[in-house]
């Protein structure tokens, strides 16, 4: 009986020492990594389309010669659409090249110093070529952002003025813009959003059909747009 007890004691000791050895080999679980924020989406190229409602600000100019050279041009609201090709370094910053087209009708031209208002018919067509920098951040599926851009604008006037020579001419000018928007990710690669944009167009010069010079001062337009963005990866 004493012999059996000794064997049992030795077996229990061996089992305990084996358990201690196995425990020593287990990884240290006293430290658990905290949950890290989701990584930023990988860098990559993208294409985007936008379209919206364009609202011009006050447009002033000058017609020479004439007893009342200063003019105020009433331009109606119109539309705008365009697209961009860009590269996202991550969800926080990206760059893009953008082209857009907008069209707005010219309703009347007023000469405040006379005063007289001349009814007109015609339209203004605006093409912009811009380089933009965009800064934002990703919050789950939402990404608010702001952007600025600079480039060139081509303004084409095709206007019939009652009692005066017609204007059918175009000119290039400097353009700058600022915008802010909010995108919602439909999938990992496709997002849909809305944005507000302010576009500044520099002064432009024209010649009417009577060879008289016409100048348009710098002006701004506001637009509210819907935007679609598709990412292609790096």
What are the residue boundaries of the structural domains of the chain, listed by start?
44-233
Please report which residue ranges of the chain form alpha helices under DSSP H.
2-25
The model's pTM is: 0.79
Strands 219-233 and 190-201: antiparallel
Question: What integer pLDDT is reported at residue 66 of this predicted model?
Answer: 59
pLDDT exceeds cutoff 70 at 11: no
How do residues 124-134 score in pLDDT, each as one tens digit?
Answer: 999 999 999 99
Mean residue pLDDT of the chain comes to 84
How do residues 31-76 score in pLDDT, each as one tens digit?
Answer: 445 544 445 556 899 999 999 999 999 899 988 765 558 888 999 9
Neighbours of 55 (CB within 10 A): 16
Question: What integer pLDDT is reported at residue 6 of this predicted model?
Answer: 46
How far apart, in whole angstroms, are the C-alpha atoms of residue 115 and residue 168? 25
Question: What integer pLDDT is reported at residue 166 of this predicted model?
Answer: 85
CATH code of the region 44-233: 2.40.160.20
Residue with structure tokens 């302010």? Answer: 198
Contacts of 63 (CB under 8 A, 6+ apart): 69, 71, 164, 208, 212, 213, 214
């Amino acid at each position: 009986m004493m012999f059996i007890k000794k064997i049992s004691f030795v077996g229990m000791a061996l089992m305990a020492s084996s358990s201690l050895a196995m425990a020593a080999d287990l990884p240290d679980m006293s430290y658990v990594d905290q949950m890290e924020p989701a990584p930023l989406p990988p860098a990559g190229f993208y294409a985007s389309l936008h379209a919206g409602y364009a609202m011009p600000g006050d447009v002033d100019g000058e017609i020479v010669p004439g007893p009342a050279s200063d003019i105020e041009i009433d331009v109606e609201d119109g539309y705008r659409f365009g697209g961009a090709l860009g590269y996202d370094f991550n969800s926080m910053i990206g760059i893009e090249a953008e082209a857009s087209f907008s069209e707005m009708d010219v309703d009347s031209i007023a000469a405040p110093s006379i005063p007289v208002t001349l009814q007109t018919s015609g339209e203004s067509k605006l093409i912009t070529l811009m380089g933009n920098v965009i800064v934002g951040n990703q919050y789950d599926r939402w990404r608010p952002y702001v952007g600025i851009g600079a480039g060139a604008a081509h303004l084409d006037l095709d206007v019939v003025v009652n009692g005066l020579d017609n204007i059918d001419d175009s000119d290039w000018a400097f353009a700058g813009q600022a915008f802010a928007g909010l995108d919602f990710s439909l999938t990992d690669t496709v997002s849909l959003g809305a944005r507000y944009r302010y576009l500044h167009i520099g002064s432009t010069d024209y010649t009417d059909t009577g060879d008289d010079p016409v100048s348009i001062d710098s002006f701004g337009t506001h637009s509210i747009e819907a935007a679609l963005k598709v990412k292609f990866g790096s």
